[in-house]
């Protein structure tokens, strides 16, 4: 018997999520490596172009059908949020140690809870608000306002986390009206258009090694998106969401192996607080919905 086919849906979803995080960690590492030698806008274009190119086969003959959206304006706004998040994150990779910027990005799920009340009209109870406050405390431990560390190098990743939260909130809204494949089609659209306009002015023709890493960036990025979709297809989001934090493990390992970087104790403490608060918020959401 094939062990994969005999695996429960929940375990299959968890494995897809772990694979997604592994691939995304490598995408970020490749982006950091490439931006040392090539303009960031060029690397961004490669990221968006490959995502669009690799998504097309998933649509098959239904590509144009999936372009029809009931909430076109919101789809484009969602794509804009992701574009700004990715731009800020890629620029932040040049300013902040690899594991540190990954840890700061974990503020996004906590911001989603904080913003779900005013933007989605959801009720957020006192316990979940306590988790939000704890999450912000974890972020403050990492960036340490009032010190030399709190400057552009941390404001940029914080901005990336904020736009990632807006992207996730808009993803919730569009899922009520559009097919998942429609959303996948529009995800890279704004970033692809904007970077296609700008990239020719900053383009540096890559050497063989550069092309290799750029192609790898595109393949890993598309693979990560696909694995993420499969994770949420396999089982409920609450079962796989906690494993998103494995991204920090991969980021720490890659940061150490490739750049000899390790997060300091303050970053480790802040990340632990944010992860704990994120898991607590997720637990309270399960309780609110009656999940067990």
The per-residue pLDDT for range 201-243, each reduced to its tens digit, is: 999 999 999 999 999 998 888 888 788 778 877 777 667 777 8
* Confidence at 128, pLDDT banded by 50, 70, 90: confident
Average pLDDT, integer, range 150-178: 83
Query: What gap in Å lies between CA 139 and CA 269, rounded to an integer?
Result: 10
Contact indicator for 117, 89 with CB cutoff of 8 Å: no
Distances (CA, A) of 122 to 8, 27, 102, 173, 176: 32, 34, 28, 12, 15
* 10 has pLDDT over 60: yes
Q: What pLDDT score was predicted for residue 288?
A: 67
Q: What pLDDT score was predicted for residue 22?
A: 93
* 99 has pLDDT over 70: yes
Average pLDDT, integer, range 163-181: 83
Contact indicator for 153, 17 with CB cutoff of 8 Å: no
Average pLDDT, integer, range 119-136: 76
Q: Is 181 exposed, middle or buried (0-12, 13-18, 19+ CB in 10 A)?
A: middle
> Which range has the worst mean pLDDT, 144-148, 160-164, 223-227, 266-270?
144-148
Highest mean pLDDT pick, 135-144, 180-189, 203-212, 265-274: 203-212
Dihedral over Cα of 278, 103, 99, 199: its sign: positive
């Amino acid at each position: 018997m094939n062990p994969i086919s005999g695996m429960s849906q929940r375990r299959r979803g968890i494995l897809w999520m772990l694979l997604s995080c592994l691939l995304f960690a490598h995408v970020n590492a490749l982006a950091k490596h490439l931006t040392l030698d090539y303009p960031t806008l060029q690397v961004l274009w490669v990221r968006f172009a490959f995502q669009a190119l690799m998504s097309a086969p998933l649509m098959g003959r239904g590509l144009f059908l999936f372009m029809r959206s009931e909430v076109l304006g919101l789809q484009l706004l969602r794509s804009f949020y992701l574009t700004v998040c990715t731009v800020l994150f890629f620029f932040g990779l040049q300013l902040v140690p690899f594991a540190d910027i990954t840890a700061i990005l974990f503020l996004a799920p906590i911001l989603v809870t904080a913003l779900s009340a005013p933007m989605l009209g959801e009720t957020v109870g006192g316990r979940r608000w306590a988790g939000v406050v704890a999450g912000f405390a974890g972020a403050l431990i990492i960036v340490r306002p009032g010190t030399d560390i709190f400057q552009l190098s941390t404001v940029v990743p914080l901005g990336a986390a904020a736009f990632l939260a807006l992207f996730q909130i808009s993803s919730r809204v569009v899922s009520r009206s559009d097919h998942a494949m429609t959303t996948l089609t529009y995800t890279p659209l704004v970033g692809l258009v904007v970077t296609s306009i700008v990239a020719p002015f900053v383009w540096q023709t890559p050497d063989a090694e550069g092309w290799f890493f750029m192609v790898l960036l595109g393949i890993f990025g598309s693979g990560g998106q696909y694995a993420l979709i499969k994770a949420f297809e396999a089982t409920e989001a609450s079962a796989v969401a906690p494993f998103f934090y494995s991204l920090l493990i991969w980021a720490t390992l890659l940061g150490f192996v490739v750049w000899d970087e390790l997060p300091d104790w303050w970053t480790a403490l802040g990340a632990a607080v944010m992860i704990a608060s994120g898991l607590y918020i997720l637990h309270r959401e399960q309780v609110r919905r009656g999940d067990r």
